[in-house]
Structure 1
């Protein structure tokens, strides 16, 4: 029976869309993905997307997969398979479990609303809040860009001043460049421990906001914040419990300031401030006074 208790069980896979590139196939379980889907089909399966279902999906390497978030769960266990599949280069997304019937792939296709997507799926145009049927069509017709990890920086300009200086979100401080030197505010998504210091000193942003990494023993996750004060770098951290490490955009949109160094505090950045406001303060702070020429 289906989720409403009526009729016979559906076939293992039902085609709902086709093109020269492949098909969108609906199925009630991730365990119904098979070799016929390899390299061509988007598998809309009404299972949770934990690591175990993702392993079954990955064995047959379909073009893409869409499952259910099942309330996300402790440690994100119900959607952890998104990143398992991302590591294999397979675009994947999940729908809010309250928008479609569990165990009914066709219902998921017609009624589901996307809640989370991995980076390859985002690269194909999938976004949270999108209808599953629209996301499935995008995944069928688009391929994520093949690139090395160091090439996927997700640098995004969030605010720009009239003179062309910007707040730039990126996934790591390692993605800071010479164009940021004494010019841009970087919002990045790694911790601010001592290993971040060489990267901060190399690119010398006008200001920076990184993660506190959950603070760590003896506040080691934010030690770099104070080590670079002598270099004239104004910086702050956001609470790692509120913003996703590894996502500069999450740090910008979701971040709440957890610590500031003296230079950032002088610019008006305060603990508890939302990241966009803090980044704005850093972008518009008064430049350090140049040292007099001897």
Structure 2
């Protein structure tokens, strides 16, 4: 049984239940603005995210400042200390890398362990009032001469049945939740792209998708804003690829945009 002041653990912030209300949440999700909004919308007292390598334009921690402006204390864990997508590992091994002003006011600071930070955040004031909706984007592109649609979704959770057999570009990190390969992507795209969240386990969806016959890559967090599919598509540089993607001619280090336009034209 969970201790009354113990944090709620959520490998993905998209899977929060009603028990998160007025609780401190430790989530394996990156600390981008949409993830921050989900924590605020759920009525959490405070939240601890993974910094996802921080990455381009500091997108991996962009939600911390947003939460300051919306009354919630928040911190991020160094991705090198605990795997993204694994809340239990963050509690056990995580080291705080970034905090917002409200969390600092509770005594949370960089270098602390996640458990200590969560304990301090249990004294944070509960945020009050409604907040504007932060929406994740979905966009579909059909390049000239293409045989497949290019589907841009800021979160892999937005993938739909109609995306089967298409090229799916996400803003999500590339870490697999648990052991079920279906957690890598709900529907069988022909090709999928993710953000590597600084590397390490941030590419673990790729072998899971290989087992399902889906070509998949990650782009470097330094090259594209995590949580932003348009940035993945336009800015991303391929950092890892599974054998299925390599067999399609994908090359490590190439611009994802060039790769996708080429693949979309393949019969």
Task: Tell me: higher relative CO, structure 1 or 2? Use CA pairs within 8 A at least 6 residues apart.
Answer: 2
TM-score (norm 1): 0.44
TM-score (norm 2): 0.48
